[in-house]
Chains A and B, each alone.
Chain A
């Protein structure tokens, strides 16, 4: 099956590791040009060097998505460099935690506003070029109780509601908006890799709660995100795809 991604132009925030990194690699493998950012210029340089191929190029610049001005300027710059944008994936997250109210502000600024501001910045360009695809990253923690009453879970739920609403709003411009809700995803240097050491009982419980007895891998999320973002998924719009190996237990009708 040809996903139809050759020579498409994609923007993904935060792709130096984990799910974002695997999405970027998969897009590159499919022949997209991919623009990305990280707070550290060194990380951006590294990913450009490591992931660019002869057929597909990675571009990017350092950017803190929490800084509205910097973030919007970065998107404009990337769109300009690629001469347009077909795919947008706001992937950066402030992560979990219920240390203080500060967690709510951080989740709101990064997970929520990072998504909203990004969408609002790319949509005019997508309209101009006749359409596009936006894939938002939510979490299984948005649809079922998970861990603790933390900002992360609530903001990821808000992302789903926003995305569904947005899909109705921009559908007329041939822009599709979909959401994915990954379950716990493990990779070397990732949070679950750390929790395996620091909270072994909790980790083991989460492992057991998966029908297959293991956590997910970033590439297993990336493949679905790339598919949803591709022209091959042209009739999927406003969906929220669970990518959790059956971790969540609710029945979806």
Chain B
């Protein structure tokens, strides 16, 4: 990146635990070529992605806690497929296609529940939580026997309290898939966090248009001007690891783009108060707020019951933002996790599903929600607000998608602050090269 004249951010030099490294990984050589727009707009490319990515990688199913007891299941959709993840009576987690092998009916609706068995609503074929047949009504009508032993099982595993599945029966182990970042989330102890929000919004854009919106800070100044008074959008540490990537965005300071700060900006006042510091009593310099909050949280956390012992100081304020390939955005913070899952539409490259899980680290039992908030689904017409920042992003996306479909637009012309988008596309290319037809990338 070219030299800039602003002050660089002081970062933690050594990790405090072996979990999250702070070391900057040198950027791979990714070139400067244009990213063809067809990747975002063509049905052929959507199908190519289905064949080479969605059916080959590990995908997030949901939260492990939602399938904690025997009989608990969750049902999630990816493209044209629907998947059941269920904890068997033997306490083992398994994933199955949500398809009755008799005539193809879906066994359950997307969502979660607890069952003794799955009974097909069409002819009553019944399956145990281990996926095997329990009963077939009037069995004697099938002299040829059943078509198989039960539901079609697919790989299933857990990582940091999340359940993953893969439509690829030959997929590498989940541990191997996550390898370079396998331990990065451990210091956050997601198992201590409580779900406070769970929803899906339909957005009128390609799933990658949505991934991209959370993969660079270049758009902050124009799209989220209020965040210039809360974070550093320019001095961002970007690390690319094989198929995944992250950036570390310093919070608790103003952008180098702000020339003069008249007083403590409202968002930084909120940060101070949230940390238990009185903004009116804060006499230090404004560029000392990030450090003051870190120190205060470090000192006060333990007595308030928060265990931050595995987290470094920067993790107490900053956004450690990960893209777990292909479609997960983890905004990890000491006391909360904002997780986005970007899912493609089954047939339309101009539509997608944006899933949001908000998890909070709550130590005071009185503050715990009485029950798990139920999942809610909104269409674009519902105009559901997801908060100022995501609303600002969501407002851009359909317009970006429409513009990408224009004859005037050739493709994405990316700058240095957008290098994670390049890396994302490099990974997509790698998968297409491995699993696609030879000429698939002759775009």
Residue positions of A touching B, CB distance < 8 A: 17-18, 95, 97, 99-100, 102-103, 106, 188-191, 193-200
Contacts and interface: CB of A to CB of B under 8 A. Distances in A.
Nearest to B281: A102
Given A194-B262, A197-B225, A198-B226, A100 B280 contact: yes
Given A99-B280, A99-B281, A199-B226, 4 more contacts: A106-B280, A189-B262, A198-B265, A198-B267
B263 A95 contact: yes
17 contacts: A17-B262, A18-B262, A99-B279, A99-B280, A100-B279, A103-B280, A106-B280, A189-B261, A189-B262, A194-B229, A194-B262, A194-B263, A196-B225, A197-B228, A197-B229, A198-B229, A198-B265
B266 interface: yes
Contact of A193 (B262, B267, B279): B262
Contacts of B279: 97, 99-100
A191 B262 contact: yes
A17 B263 CA distance: 13
A102 B278 contact: yes
Contacts of A99: 269, 273, 278-281
Contacts of B265: 194, 198
A10 B384 CA distance: 57
Contacts of B226: 197-200
Contacts, number: 53
B270 to A, nearest CB: 10
Q: Which of A95, A100, A194, A200 has the most CB of B within 10 A?
A: A194
Interface string B213-227: 000000000000110
Contacts of A17: 260, 262
Q: Which of A99, A106, A199 has the most CB of B within 10 A?
A: A99
Contacts of A198: 226, 229, 265-267
B299 interface: no
B280 A194 contact: no
Contact of B260 (A102, A189, A195): A189
Interface in B261-307: 261-263, 265-267, 269, 273, 278-281
A33 to B, nearest CB: 27
| Chain A interface mostly | helix
Q: Which of B228, B259, B260, B280 has the most CB of A within 10 A?
A: B280
Interface residues of B, number: 18
B280 A102 contact: yes
A199 B278 contact: no
The 5 A-B pairs of least Cβ separation, nearest first, read: A189-B260, A102-B280, A99-B280, A197-B225, A99-B279
B383 to A, nearest CB: 16
A51 B261 CA distance: 22
A168 to B, nearest CB: 34
A15 to B, nearest CB: 15
B228 A188 contact: no
A100 B272 CA distance: 12
A190 B266 CA distance: 13
Contacts of A200: 225-226
Nearest to B259: A189
Given A197-B225, A197-B229, A198-B267, A97 B262 contact: no
Nearest to B272: A99
A202 B254 CA distance: 21
Nearest to B225: A197
B260 to A, nearest CB: 3
A177 to B, nearest CB: 28
A92 to B, nearest CB: 13
A199 B229 CA distance: 11
A196 B258 CA distance: 13
A18 B278 CA distance: 26
Nearest to B224: A197
Given A99-B269, A200-B226, A194 B281 contact: no
B280 A97 contact: yes
Nearest to A202: B266
A201 to B, nearest CB: 9
Contacts of B267: 198
A100 B225 CA distance: 27
A191 B269 CA distance: 14
A189 B266 CA distance: 15
A20 B367 CA distance: 47
Q: Which of B229, B266, B269, B273 has the most CB of A within 10 A?
A: B266
A100 B269 CA distance: 12
Contacts of B280: 97, 99-100, 102-103, 106
A95 B264 CA distance: 11
Contacts of B281: 99-100, 102
B287 to A, nearest CB: 14
Contacts of B273: 99
Interface string B78-121: 00000000000000000000000000000000000000000000
A136 to B, nearest CB: 21
A199 B280 CA distance: 19
Nearest to A189: B260
Contacts of A95: 263
Contacts of A189: 259-262
B261 A194 contact: yes
